[in-house]
């Protein structure tokens, strides 16, 4: 976003202009971290996917499925998606607000602190140091670290808003604000615990209350870590890549407010038919169904932005990634409300359908939006051409097919097992009284899932190679972008 300096008029005095250089180095750091942790997180995912149909792949105490699954989820959510979110926020906010970040020091504290949290997770989780709460497994000292880092991030961000030159906040900024505020509330709320030494704590909540708080947190981690910041990413990077304006301003307003308001209520849909009070579940289900609308508002705004620009997909891997990403977002945000309906949930809960649903969203929406962003950023941040457009396109195809295999395999496994669990014979007895019978039936699908996952991982490796070769061909110190503004 550069503008040429106004030639001074020889008669009148023109206003003084200064150059504002953006901190692009921090974005470079976050982009590299995103790619590395994406690989690590997906590699662990592939290993645990292998461990399911092939128990021999449980390589001893520290690499058994129960120890590694939380490492996988934490790595792909907080390390991969997390670093991607920060790359998006730091890159786009400076440009949208026409200012450098308030504090380079805080930006770097954020970056290195976040990586330290990830490394702590990689060490503690295989050791069995865990709270046992999904996506909140990290024990209390790491939770404290996360809180401090998030506060620094928030202060840096809100101070940047304060010193902004562009007074109007573009829609992406609204989504970033919602993310920063809500993640803080959720993290603190669900992490409140009584420590027993450095490596163990008990939540202050128990039973029903703990279940509720956990899924208030868990579902809204999806909402405000895996959705809102990625919608912000979409609103910035898609119009840039397509060279088209966003489809509808009014839609962005309506879907933003309805999304941030409705999402929070959806937590209890994770607890359908469990021992929480029925009224809470009904609220969760109703609001989850309503949530379909603001979510599709986002999808519509994204896809319709490409009106008149669909032909550009042919030559743009970035646009290909974004379109598949937004489409999977639409699929997942239709499927989510569907799975929240009590009758559907009665079949799907505890089965692989849930995992299939989660991965459609994670691989499709979070993954592909991240890949699109990275392929768009690589040439711009490093001031060079991308090393191989062909490889990027291969990533797109291999990743898409891998995702489809993954998701189809698990839909099949989930529905099969769910139906087998509830099948009765003519004399009113369980048709499959032995749980094992339902397991044996779906093992082949676990192998197909592994193949799909390995393809997706292969795509991730392609991105890493492309990124490495692109950076290698660039200057050692690429120039940061700058704009000239009135002093």
Partner 1 sequence: MSKLLKTDGRHRKLEGWPLVFSVLTGLSILIGGTVEFLPLVLLDSSVPRISTVTPYTPLELAGRDIYIAEGCGNCHSQMVRPFRDEIERYGEYSKPGESIYDRPFLWGSKRTGPDLARVGGKYPDLWHVRHMDDPRSTSPKSLMPPYPWLLTKQLNFEGIPAKMKALAALGTPYSDSQIEESVAAAQSQAAQISRNVSSNGGPSGLEDKKITAIVAYLQRLGVDLKKSTN
At residue 270, the 3 state secondary structure works out as helix
Segment 7 to 46, residues that bind partner 1, using CB under 8 A = none
Q: To the nearest whole angstrom, how small is the minimum distance from the Cβ of residue 464 to partner 1? A: 28
Question: Which pair of structure tokens corresponds to residue 340?
Answer: 């929240």
Between 250 and 477, whose beta carbon lies closer to partner 1?
250
Pairing status of strand 482-486 against strand 17-21: antiparallel
| Stretch 402-421: interaction string toward partner 1, x if CB under 8 A | -------------------x
> Dihedrals φ, ψ of 484, to 5°?
-110, 130
Task: Choose one: 115-123, 262-270, 329-337, 400-408; the region binding partner 1 (CB under 8 A).
Answer: 262-270
Spatial contact of 95 and 22, defined as CB atoms under 8 Å apart: yes
Least spacing, CB of residue 219 vs partner 1, in Å: 10
- Which of 51-59, 303-311, 397-405, 458-466 is the region at the interface with partner 1 (rule: CB under 8 A)? 51-59
What minimum distance in Å lies between the beta carbon of 105 and partner 1?
A: 22
52 binds partner 1 (CB under 8 A): yes
Within 10 Å of residue 401's Cβ, how many Cβ atoms? Answer: 15
Q: Is 351 in the site for partner 1 (CB under 8 A)?
A: yes
The rounded distance, in Å, linking the Cα atoms of 239 and 236 is 6
Q: What's the CA gap between 122 and 213, in Å, rounded? A: 25
Cα-based torsion angle of the residue sequence 466, 467, 468, 474 in order, rounded to the nearest 10 degrees? 110
Q: Smallest distance, Å, CB 428 to partner 1?
A: 9
What is the smallest separation between the CB atom of 292 and partner 1, expressed in angstroms? 16
Q: Judged by CB under 8 A, which of 132, 144, 155, 425 binds partner 1?
A: 132
Residue 355 in contact with partner 1, rule: CB under 8 A: yes
CB of 255 to partner 1, least distance (A): 12
Nearest CA-CA partner of 40 in 67, 78, 66: 78
DSSP 67-115: HHHHHHHHIIIIIIIHHHHHHHHHHHHHHHHTS--S-HHHHHHHHHHHH
Selected from 81, 89, 262, 360, the binder of partner 1 by CB under 8 A is 262
The reply on whether position 142 binds partner 1 by CB under 8 A is no
Q: Which of 10, 250, 311, 314 binds partner 1 (CB under 8 A)?
A: 250
Interface with partner 1, residue 66, by CB under 8 A: yes
Cα distances (Å, whole numbers) of residue 186 to 22, 57, 221, 305: 31, 35, 8, 32
Q: Which is nearer to partner 1, 154 or 451 (CB)?
A: 154
> In this chain, which of 6, 112, 148, 202 binds partner 1, going by CB under 8 A?
202
Adjacent-strand bridge partners of 202: 194
- Beta strand spans in 147-215 (E): 193-195, 201-203
**Of 275-294, which residues contact partner 1 (CB under 8 A)?**
275-277, 279-280, 283-284, 287
Q: Residue 413 burial (CB < 10 Å; 0-12/13-18/19+)?
A: buried
Question: Which of 104, 105, 116, 195 contacts partner 1 by CB under 8 A?
Answer: 195
**Residue 94 engages partner 1 in binding (rule: CB under 8 A):** no
Residues numbered 216-245 forming contacts with partner 1, rule: CB under 8 A = 216, 220, 224
Binding flag, residue 254, partner 1 (CB under 8 A): yes
Virtual CA dihedral for 431, 434, 436, 440, nearest 10 degrees? -20
CB distance 442 to 410 below 8 Å: no
Q: Which is nearer to partner 1, 290 or 464 (CB)?
A: 290
DSSP 247: S
Which of 99, 107, 131, 332 touches partner 1 by CB under 8 A?
131
Q: Which tokens sit at 191?
A: 């992490």
Helix (H) or strand (E) holding 292: helix 278-304
Site string for partner 1, 153-192 (x = CB under 8 A): -----x--xx----xxx---xx--xx--xx--x---x---
Smallest distance, partner 1 to C-beta of residue 43, A: 18
Q: Which residue from 84, 211, 369, 403 is in contact with partner 1, where contact means CB under 8 A?
A: 211
Least Cβ distance, residue 318 to partner 1 (angstroms)? 27
Contact 378, 386 (CB under 8 A): yes
Of 419-438, binders to partner 1 (CB under 8 A) are 421-424, 429-430, 433, 435-436
Residue selected from 27, 34, 51, 332 as contacting partner 1 according to rule CB under 8 A: 51
Q: Is 441 in the site for partner 1 (CB under 8 A)?
A: no
At which residue do the structure tokens 């929406």 appear? 365
CA distance 18 to 304: 37
Q: Does 267 bind partner 1 (CB under 8 A)?
A: yes
Q: Give the span between the Cα atoms of 399 and 221, in whole angstroms.
A: 25
Name the 3-class secondary structure at 286: helix
Is residue 94 within 8 Å of residue 166, measured between CB atoms?
no
Rounded to a whole number of angstroms, the minimum distance from the CB of residue 294 to partner 1 is: 12
Q: Which stretch binds partner 1 (CB under 8 A): 62-70, 74-82, 232-240, 456-464?
A: 62-70
């Amino acid at each position: 976003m550069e503008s040429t300096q106004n030639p001074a008029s020889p008669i009148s005095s023109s206003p003084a202009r200064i150059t504002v250089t953006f901190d692009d180095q921090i974005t470079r750091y976050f982009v590299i971290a995103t790619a590395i942790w994406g690989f690590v997180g997906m590699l662990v995912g592939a290993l645990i996917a292998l461990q399911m149909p092939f128990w021999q792949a449980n390589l001893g105490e520290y690499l058994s499925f129960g120890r590694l699954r939380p490492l996988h989820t934490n790595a792909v959510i907080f390390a991969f998606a997390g670093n991607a979110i920060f790359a998006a926020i730091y890159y786009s906010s400076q440009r949208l607000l026409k200012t450098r970040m308030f504090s380079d020091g805080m930006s770097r504290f954020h970056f290195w602190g976040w990586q330290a949290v990830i490394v702590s997770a990689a060490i503690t989780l295989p050791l069995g140091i865990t709270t046992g709460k999904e996506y909140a497994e990290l024990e209390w000292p790491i939770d404290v670290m996360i809180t401090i880092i998030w506060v620094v991030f928030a202060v840096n961000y809100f101070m940047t808003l304060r010193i902004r030159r562009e007074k109007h906040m573009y829609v992406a900024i609204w989504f970033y604000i919602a993310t920063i505020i809500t993640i803080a509330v959720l993290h603190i709320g669900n992490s409140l615990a009584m420590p027993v030494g450095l490596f163990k704590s008990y939540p202050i909540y128990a039973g029903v209350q703990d279940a509720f708080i956990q899924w208030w947190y868990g579902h809204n981690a999806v909402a405000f870590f895996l959705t809102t910041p990625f919608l912000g990413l979409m609103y910035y990077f898609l119009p840039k890549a397509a060279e088209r304006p966003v489809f509808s301003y009014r839609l962005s307003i309506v879907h933003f407010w309805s999304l941030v308001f409705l999402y929070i209520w959806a937590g209890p849909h994770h607890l359908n038919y469990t021992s929480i009070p029925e009224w809470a579940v009904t609220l969760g289900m109703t609001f989850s169904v309503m949530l379909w609308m603001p979510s599709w508002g986002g999808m519509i705004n994204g896809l319709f932005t490409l009106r008149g620009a669909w032909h550009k997909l042919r030559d743009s891997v970035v646009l290909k990634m974004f379109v598949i990403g937004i489409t999977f977002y639409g699929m997942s945000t239709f499927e989510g409300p569907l799975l929240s309906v009590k009758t559907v949930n009665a079949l799907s809960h505890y089965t692989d359908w849930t995992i299939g649903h989660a991965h459609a969203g994670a691989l499709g929406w979070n993954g592909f939006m991240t890949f699109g962003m990275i392929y768009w950023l690589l040439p711009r941040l490093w001031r060079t051409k991308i090393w191989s457009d062909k490889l990027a396109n291969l990533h797109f195809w291999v990743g898409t097919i891998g995702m489809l295999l993954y998701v189809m395999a698990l839909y099949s496994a989930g529905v099969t097992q769910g139906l087998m669990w509830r099948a009765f014979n003519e004399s009113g007895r369980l048709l499959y009284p032995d749980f094992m019978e339902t397991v044996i039936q779906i093992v082949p699908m676990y192998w197909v899932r592994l193949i799909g996952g390995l393809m997706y991982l292969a795509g991730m490796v392609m991105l890493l190679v492309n990124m490495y070769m692109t950076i290698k061909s660039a200057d050692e110190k690429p120039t940061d972008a700058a704009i000239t503004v009135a002093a």
